[in-house]
């Protein structure tokens, strides 16, 4: 574990990272060309505004992968909600034809998403560390 990767507050040291995937409604391939580039810029701005650090980002025509480092005060569902809601609003502003296309369904993104924690140590390492604490009394 490298120490500089961790964040600190007055009473907390943490590293919280998520791999998040979500799709446009009906899995349509809408994120290509200018829409893809604009969407990436929108995500970068959202992350800057909310103090999320993008570690990796890949925008495919029909889904998004983002790997973010977030503050310890933000729930995983709130990270996803923020990214999806603001990005949809901003994309609709830039591409009114997209808003018109999705007007019937009322939403750009599917309700669902995938989210997984990402750490620098394995589950086995954590279990071993906790078990070894018994002998440190």
Backbone CA torsion sign across 54, 58, 59, 64: negative
| Closest C-alpha among 5, 89, 74 to residue 42 | 89
Q: Say if CB 32 and CB 38 are below 8 A apart.
A: no
Catalytic residues: 129
Task: Extract the runs of DSSP E, i.e. beta strands, from 1-137.
Answer: 7-9, 12-14, 16-22, 53-60, 63-70, 114-117
Cα dihedral 64, 24, 79, 118, rounded to 10, equals -30
């Amino acid at each position: 574990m490298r120490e500089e990767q961790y964040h600190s507050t007055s009473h907390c040291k943490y590293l919280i990272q998520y791999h998040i995937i979500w799709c446009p409604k009906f899995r349509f391939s809408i994120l290509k060309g200018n829409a893809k580039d604009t969407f990436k810029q929108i995500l970068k701005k959202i992350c800057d505004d909310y103090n999320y650090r993008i570690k990796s980002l890949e925008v495919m025509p029909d889904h998004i992968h983002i790997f973010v480092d977030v503050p310890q005060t933000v729930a995983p569902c709130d990270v996803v909600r923020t990214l999806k809601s603001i990005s949809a609003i901003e994309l609709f502003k830039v591409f009114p034809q997209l808003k018109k296309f999705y007007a019937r369904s009322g939403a750009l993104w599917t309700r669902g998403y995938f989210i997984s924690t990402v750490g620098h140590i394995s589950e086995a390492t954590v279990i071993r560390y906790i078990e070894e604490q018994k002998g440190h009394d």
